[in-house]
Structure 1
Amino acid sequence: MNRPIHSCNPEIKLRPGSTLLADKLHLPALNYPFPEGRDSNTDVVEAEVVEWAVRHAFVERGGRGEAVLRSLGPADLVGRMFHRMDREAFLAASIWSAWMFLMEDHFCEAGAYHGSPEGLAQFHLWLREIMTDSHGYDWHPICQAIIRRLPVEYTDLCVRTGEATLDMARRIEKVSSSTQYLRWVEGMTYYFLGTIWQVGVSINSPPPSVKEYLLGRSSFGGGAPTCALADVVAGYEVPPNDYQHVEVRRLRTLVGIIASLCNDLMSFPREIGMIWNLPNILIAQGMSQQEAVNDTVRIHNDLVREYLELEARIRSWAGDGLQRFLHDMGTLMRGQYDWARRQKRYAATDNFFFDTLANPRTS
């Protein structure tokens, strides 16, 4: 018999607001020797993303959900990661960014499928089929099967998610080559795998080791599909053999982990006691809050140094498309930092004394 799906326990659910630490902590310098920037169309695209979410009833106009989405700024995140984008591709990627925020909130770690990895697996397989064949797959029958296993309050939301996923996938497919689009679907599959592991972990489970955590974080952090969209949004294409070269695969994995650790640091005050945050795992091993922050920054900066060494090797043989991709991987990581530091829900500037960025580079 399948296990019932439960609403998330209050101890697990992410807090709706930020938490101020008892004592403000020192955040050592993060190493981002990459250019800062923001696409000039970001504010206009942001407004269109909100309209998309309202139209698909993911959020209610004028309600708290709309306010949270505006505060999150999904287009602001994309616009800071990739500075010069094709207009329609920018909108498609920003809609995907909003879709990720909303879908996770409703269905993943703190949502309907908490404690039910098999239920989330079925849900993700359904979403993946929509993405795989966005013009031929009839998603309604499986949607009805999923609804039968969900609490009644998720019935309409599940249907709206199917409709929104179809629209989002078609937008990305329209601005991608077939190879680029399937790269993104593959990245989403890797992301889905990590979230299934995530929802199966109980608050009473032993915390994972640092290596176990980083393995999962590189998946459910969404790094793979984000990297897959880098050349799509900028209107070029990395040759497939270059994108899948073993050194480029290693580099993309590093990018995903580095961006995730930045998020862990910025969101730490909001997620004290949560298992899916590296400082909390280090605290469970006996470190103080400040020691855990320091060690997370050390791990982060060690990975950035590894990235820079690997990037230099790749640049020695990379063609024009891959050279542009390497530039975009740098702005992706720096953009994650610039976005997260400004997030009101993280309250990072209220909780940390910031050192300046290490070794900034302007071009």
Structure 2
Amino acid sequence: MRTFAVSALREPPFPARRHGATDRVALESIDWALRHKLIRTGHRLHRLRRADAAGLAGRACPEGPIDRLRLLTDLISWLFVMDDACDEDGLGEAPTRLAPTVAALLDVLDRQGAPAGGPATDAGPLGEALGDLCRRVRATGSPAFLLRFVGDVREYLLALLWEAANREHGRVPELAEYVQMRRHTGAVHPSFTLTELAAGPPPDPSSRADPALVALDLLAADLVCWCNDVFSYGKENVSQPDAHNLVTVIAAGRPAGEEAVALRAAADRFNDSLATYLATEKALLATGHDGFQPALTARRNWIRATYDWSLGADRYA
């Protein structure tokens, strides 16, 4: 599948970079996950190491303070653990099984990074680690980023319940529905938020609400998710088709046996959206509005990082 992805997907025309502290942060993030008991020794530790959260974060955030790179890497590690618990360990098999965990994690988010030591929750290690992430975002002294981050993670958690309902009923979503929900199940928005946090002050509210930037944000989220879907399709369909993959969703509307056609259609969707992204970005840059630059840089970096990281990701092997 990697060979197909390399041949079919257009390489994003952005510089490929990597933060100089990536290897150091990789070790520190594994220690963080162990300290919060997200993982222990054995299979789950090996799985998280192979996922290479720091390799992805270091490409998405190739410059900036090391502590902000650590924060992004720890978020990605947390997301990998959560996704693996849902996809591979059975937590996301049905909404009734996942809902208590989601409710406990929402309770953590409701506290918005308040200092530790408040009333106990039932969130366990996932909640303890998520609370630590929220407290560290709060400690940066940027309420705007904290509120964005909490809202972004909340949308991710609620979208996981949608996935669980689909799994329980063996349901493949319609394409438009999948495109919308994939932006949230992919946890792209909280990742963008922490990448922007590493870049400096947030854009002013009027810039954030600019329709052109909103459109660009959605395009960037789609590109990250669809690149992921094409590269991961082979691994996710070893035993049976994964309903939460763009290729599977496209194939569901076609005659049986047209997997190759669906793969090409998914790649074409990525390539067409990349062309639209570049045109939209060019128009934004032409306005000369400096407030857009951190957001544009973060999204450029994420699109390129996802492509480069996927080329060698053991997670999809």
Q: How many residues align?
A: 310
Q: CA deviation at 1:295?
A: 0.8
Equivalent residues in 2 for 1:133-144, closer than 5 Å: 133=111, 134-135=113-114, 141-143=120-122
Equivalent residues in 2 for 1:1-363, closer than 5 Å: 25=4, 27-61=7-41, 63-106=42-85, 108-117=86-95, 120-133=98-111, 134-135=113-114, 141-143=120-122, 158-175=123-140, 177-202=142-167, 205-272=170-237, 273-284=241-252, 285-286=254-255, 288-347=258-317
Task: Indicate if the aligned counterparts of 2:93 and 2:167 stay in contact, CA closer than 8 A.
Answer: yes
Gap regions ≥5 residues in structure 2: none
Higher relative contact order (CA 8 A, sep 6+): 1
Deviates more, 1:205-214 or 1:333-342: 205-214
- Larger relative helix fraction: 2
Q: CA deviation at 1:260?
A: 0.5
TM-score (norm 2): 0.89
Q: CA deviation at 1:297?
A: 0.8
Deviates more, 1:121-130 or 1:185-194: 121-130
Deviations 1:61-82 (A, max 9, x none): 4x22222211111111111112
TM-score (norm 1): 0.78
2: CA distance between counterparts of 1:180 and 1:345? Answer: 29
Letter in 2 for 1:104: D
- Identity value in percent: 25
Letter in 2 for 1:222: A
Q: For 1:30, what is the secondary structure of its paired residue? A: coil
Deviations 1:304-333 (A, max 9, x none): 122122212222335323123212211110
Q: Structure 1 residues 244, 226: CA separation in 2 closer, same or farther (over 3 Å shift)?
A: farther
Q: CA deviation at 1:34?
A: 1.1
2: CA distance between counterparts of 1:92 and 1:265? Answer: 27
Greater gyration radius: 1
Q: CA deviation at 1:54?
A: 1.2
Task: Indicate if the aligned counterparts of 2:208 and 2:214 stay in contact, CA closer than 8 A.
Answer: yes
Deviations 1:155-195 (A, max 9, x none): xxx52222222212212222351011111111112212221
Q: Structure 1 residues 319, 244: CA separation in 2 closer, same or farther (over 3 Å shift)?
A: same
Deviations 1:276-309 (A, max 9, x none): 1111223332262322221111001111122122
2: CA distance between counterparts of 1:103 and 1:207? Answer: 22
Task: Indicate if the aligned counterparts of 1:126 and 1:139 stay in contact, CA closer than 8 A.
Answer: no
1: CA distance between counterparts of 2:258 and 2:4? Answer: 11
Deviations 1:99-136 (A, max 9, x none): 11112222x34445434325534533432332342225
Gap regions ≥5 residues in structure 1: 1-19, 144-157, 348-363
Q: Structure 1 residues 299, 306: CA separation in 2 closer, same or farther (over 3 Å shift)?
A: same
